[in-house]
Amino acid sequence: MENQPLKSWADSAATLVAVAAGRAPADTVLRGGKVVNVHTREVLDGWQVAISAGRFAYVGPDASHCIGPDTDVIELAGRYLIPGLCDGHMHIESGMLTPAEFASAVIPHGTTTMFTDPHEIANVLGLRGVKLMHDEALIQPISIYTQMPSCAPSAPGLETTGYEIGPEDVAEAMTWQGIIGLGEMMNFPGVVNGSQQMLAEIAATQNAGKTVGGHYASPDLGPDFHAYAAGGPADDHEGTCEADAIARVRQGMRSMMRLGSAWYDVETQITAITEKGLDSRNFILCTDDCHSGTLVNDGHMNRVVRHAIECGCDPLIALQMATINTATHFGLERELGSIAPGRRADLIVTSDLRALPVERVIAQGKTVAKDGEIIVNCPHLDWPDDARQTVHLGRELGASDFEIKGPDGAQTVTAKVIGVVENQAPTEALKRTIPVERGLLEPTDAVCQIALVERHRGTGDVVNALVEGFGYEGAMAMASTVAHDSHHMIVVGTDRAQMALAANRLAEVGGGVTVWKDGAELALVELPIAGLMSDRPARDVAANADQMVAAMEACGCTLNNAYMQHSLLALVVIPSLRLSDLGLVDVTKFELTDLIEETQ
């Protein structure tokens, strides 16, 4: 059964006033605890909270006048009430889960609001895919707001996506209920250079009175950065150091500091608050990308808040950056993000503001989780067949499709190699000497092959290059249809026959991730929806993902969250080297580049 839509504050005001005045009984009263007020940054010992119609009606020292014979009274025994946590920027698809299963996974961790950018599915299914994500998001028991993806392709001219998003798509989406703004504007060179399309998408969003998401993935804080800020993006999550965070807030942007499965950018930026003493109101915590294993085993926004506190942040400031700051940024301060009258009754009961155990979660006035277990239904959309049939290779692939031919007569070549950096989104642009045997490049030692296999139109095209940093050994291959942002298929391996086996396997199952070694499949994570997501429970997907991680380790990989690194090898908007269906991309110059530099 679908969850009933929450009435607006305006439509609920008469009820809320009556409850707060004592003329009508509350649905729920919480007493005997301590209310964390994120508006004033104080803990109000003994304050009580009355909830009615899914919203806070009374927040004050004594709610006894709100209690009727049928009111559910929850005794807190000295525990804290904190607002439900908000994730300011994230991609549901990165969890390998549909919105329903993602919600089911994060609700027990205290996340009650998410601002999501479904640009992964936009690259595969276009505006229709965004609408499917949006529709499933709206029927969940927590608040999931959708940002209309801005960049599909993320770098026009450097990749080919399944579908393209244009200004007319953005303008249409701005009329949908639940669309909160424009997803991260990744084509920052387009904005800086005055691209009419990018500026038209931003204008359509601003004219609708909604928020423009940013993505400035460059260390250059000179004129280009200032030009980007002038274009309209209101936030940015791509900062990796203190200077990045400071530069953004000085330009009137919000600095979104992320802790995802592979991104550890809070510790290096939060010193802008803890050491430099900058006003914390313009800083927001987010996850960006969390896979199912992280959600099941480590947490979601509660994990980010705990981490910020461990990095020296005052607990109340950390909570503000995961609640009211986020709500204010999206123009929702009067709707959510705090325990105050009229707001959505989203809260967490916890006994410790630092360790942040999540003992009870209330969303829109209803208890949705207790002691780490969800107790409500998260309804599923009936995903259509064409959304489950998106891997089109056009033909069966063989080992020869993964050959990299060397120049005639060459014995070695100097080649560009994508260098994976642990726990960071950027890659290095390496140069390595590669042997040539029987006319083919045969990488050795730490270097292995990477291929991008076209999977949207069935062209049969395969583009090959080189990568270093995974530590793979023996005859192995790993393939994934999760390949940000174009989401073709990425195959990394040390053996061309294994690479073919892995690619063909994903075509057979309709997408996902597979690891092969010595002719046998060690792990498979099936992601049949758009080749990106599963509608199975998060624990099941996480268990398969754990097998995948173990399989990667069995192949010699010891990197932290190496799968996330694998999935970003086609992300042609973050430096330095990436691979697309058009070839090797130098992201520092935003141009295609040759794999082979010199011949010996």
Q: List, as one string, the DSSP characters of 130-141.
A: HHHHHHHHHTSS
Q: Would you call 166 helix, strand, or coil by DSSP?
A: coil
* 496 vs 449: CA distance, rounded Å: 8
* 129 vs 137: CA distance, rounded Å: 12
DSSP codes, 178-195: TEEEEEEE--HHHHHTT-
What's the pLDDT at 229?
Answer: 98
- For the record, the structure tokens of 347 come out as 């809260």
Q: What is the pLDDT of residues 174-198, one digit of tens each?
A: 999 999 999 999 999 999 999 999 9
What's the pLDDT at 1?
Answer: 43
Are 95 and 105 in contact by the 8 Å Cβ rule? The answer is yes
What's the pLDDT at 244?
Answer: 98
Give me the CATH code for the 82-381 domain, please. 3.20.20.140
* 415 vs 434: CA distance, rounded Å: 7
DSSP code, position 93: G
What's the pLDDT at 3?
Answer: 63
Are 500 and 464 in contact by the 8 Å Cβ rule? The answer is no
Q: What angle, rounded to 10 degrees, do the helices at 119-138 and 99-106 form?
A: 70
Percent helix, strand, coil in the chain, to 5, is 30, 30, 45
DSSP codes, 491-528: EEES-HHHHHHHHHHHHHHTSEEEEEETTEEEEEEE--
Dihedral of alpha carbons 229, 234, 240, 245, sign: positive
DSSP code, position 264: B
* 271 vs 274: CA distance, rounded Å: 5
Contacts of 557 (CB under 8 A, 6+ apart): 470, 471, 472
For the chain, the domains span 82-381, 386-592
What's the pLDDT at 561?
Answer: 80
Cα 547–chain centre separation? 22
The ranges of the chain with pLDDT < 70 are 1-3
Are 414 and 595 in contact by the 8 Å Cβ rule? The answer is no
Cα 17–chain centre separation? 39
Sole residue written with tokens 């038209």: 200
Contacts of 365 (CB under 8 A, 6+ apart): 27, 28, 51, 52, 53, 54, 55, 344, 345
Contacts of 462 (CB under 8 A, 6+ apart): 397, 401, 402, 451, 452, 453, 454
* 247 vs 228: CA distance, rounded Å: 12
